[in-house]
Amino acid sequence: MISQVLRDARKYEEIAEKQNIAEERPAFHLAVRTGWLNDPNGLTWYQGKCHMFYQYHPYEPVWGPMHWGHAVSTDLLHWEYLPAALAPDLPYDTDGCFSGNALVLPDGRHLLMYTGVRREQHSDGHHRDVQTQCLAVGDGIDYEKYEGNPVLDESDLPEGSSRFDFRDPKLWQKADGTYRCVTGSRPADGSGQILMFESEDAFHWRFKKVLAKNENRFGKMWECPDFFPLDGKQVLLVSPQDMLPQDFEYHNGNGTLALIGSYDEETDTFTEERNQAVDYGIDFYAPQTVLLPDGRRVMIAWMQNWDTCTLRNPDQKWFGQMTLPRELSIRNGRLYQKPIRELEALRRNRVEYRDVSVKDVEALALDGVSGRLVDLELMLRPEEGEALYRKFAVRFAQNEQYQTSVSFRPLESILKVDRKFSGSRRAIIHQRRSRVHSEGGVLKLRLILDRCSAEIFVNDGEQVLTATFYTDQAADRISFFADGAVRMDLVKYELADR
């Protein structure tokens, strides 16, 4: 049975989508169909396609009562919208169907697990959102909420854990056939923890253990956990709120954190070994992964930062897009990310330059190097026989008024993404700096542009910096700056528009 609330959303999105102007939207990143989008949800390979759901408020380009939008793809770059999958239409989720995940049941049905939100009115006039975990079962298009919902509520929480911060389940089936799920939670110390629950049939759940504790090390509440094996290690991804900066690794506000360690399946024990940020740019949050049939572990995040949602195009009726799907691996104990290899099929018109001298120049332009749908690889090195250069920059999405840039200072080994001149009228952060590995000014960058975003892969995926910008598409120049002498190899492709 499809509720009226869901029927209304489905009708609305189909009509509203017609107002979209394709040339102003990303070509190969999933953007919202209409209205607002945040976290990716329920990433699963099901019936020969990758299903992506997302936090969705179809009616306005601002956060509101959360639905689950829905899209499918085979290459994870070209997405076909399906009708909205969930709407806030029952007493236990009447104020929102928050983030969650999915799996394929042994009988072939698609199981979604999400956070149901119900606003509780307090006598002093304040209200708080009570959060519980709920299920819906479907066929890849229509989903029926489980009659036993909610399947986890405050009575399942360990002592001291908040019933207002209990969300974002990620579930999976273990090799022994039983199920586990992990959720974000806030313990009595006010920071974050990850809880683990277990089930024999994926419908009846009980508390198992506290899988990981923040203990106020990385921000406060931990949202949106994902937990998976990768190259002989186990990775716990979380998105902490209220971070304080730590050197150049973690920055203020909402962040992302990868805890890399080992997992003892027998006792469900996770042992942390290392930690790192997931993305070092500005717009990246709430990543989730999917295991593709060929064994690749691919991550997609919301390409946005809660604190900078005011950077947008006010004329557009949509707001929100996902990052590129990124293939994950562990190298030298670190999480590496590469653009999904299917992107290579979109490459057109190769342009190559070798040994370009970029020396004390404000804006070196190269024939054939421009555009807003671009895959650009740069290999930088110092000029032989000259002092180490002081600064190199590539400026893009550029015209007389606008530019976005990536700059590198080899003496400090600092890479900076800067969108200060990218049309923003708000006093929010526009720049972010990251320390990168570079020996004597040698650096490899791959820059992917998709109309309103830049994803900068450093040293073959050792780090990534992501930022969005909503400038006029006619601002499409690319130029190179150097203070000192740089030698540069460059390969550039246009990326196909749908």
Pick 55 or 403: Cβ nearer ligand FRU: 55
Among 167, 419, 430, 492, binds ligand FRU (CB under 6 A): 167
Binding positions for ligand FRU, 26-45, rule CB under 6 A? 38-39
Pick 69 or 339: Cβ nearer ligand FRU: 69
Minimum distance from residue 53 beta carbon to ligand FRU (Å):
12
* 226 given a catalytic annotation: no
451 binds ligand FRU (CB under 6 A): no
Which token pair is 81? 């919208």
455 binds ligand FRU (CB under 6 A): no
Which token pair is 61? 């380009």
Minimum distance from residue 259 beta carbon to ligand FRU (Å):
18
Binding positions for ligand FRU, 111-130, rule CB under 6 A? 115
305 binds ligand FRU (CB under 6 A): no
Which one from 8, 39, 294, 472 is the annotated catalytic residue? 39
Q: Sketch the per residue contact string, 84 through 103, with ligand FRU: x for CB under 6 A, - otherwise.
A: --------------xx----
Minimum distance from residue 61 beta carbon to ligand FRU (Å):
14
Pick 318 or 481: Cβ nearer ligand FRU: 318
Minimum distance from residue 56 beta carbon to ligand FRU (Å):
9
- Report the chain's terminal Cα–Cα distance, integer Å: 35
- According to DSSP, the β-strands at 35-46 and 318-319 are parallel
Minimum distance from residue 167 beta carbon to ligand FRU (Å):
5
Q: Sketch the per residue contact string, 44 through 63, with ligand FRU: x for CB under 6 A, - otherwise.
A: -----------x--------
Pick 117 or 488: Cβ nearer ligand FRU: 117
Minimum distance from residue 284 beta carbon to ligand FRU (Å):
11
* Nearest to 356, CA basis, from 459, 202, 190, 488: 488
Minimum distance from residue 96 beta carbon to ligand FRU (Å):
7
Which token pair is 416? 């900076």
- Please check whether residue 397 is in contact with residue 476, taking contact to mean a CB–CB distance below 8 angstroms: yes
Pick 221 or 376: Cβ nearer ligand FRU: 221
The Cα–Cα gap between 497 and 27 comes to 5
Distance of CA 353 to the CA centre of its chain: 33
183 binds ligand FRU (CB under 6 A): no
Among 152, 224, 447, 488, binds ligand FRU (CB under 6 A): 224
193 binds ligand FRU (CB under 6 A): no
Q: Sketch the per residue contact string, 247 through 286, with ligand FRU: x for CB under 6 A, - otherwise.
A: --------------------------------------xx
324 binds ligand FRU (CB under 6 A): no
Q: Give the catalytic positions in this structure.
A: 39
Residues at the contact surface with ligand FRU, assessed by CB under 6 A: 38-39, 55, 66, 98-99, 115, 167-168, 223-224, 285-286
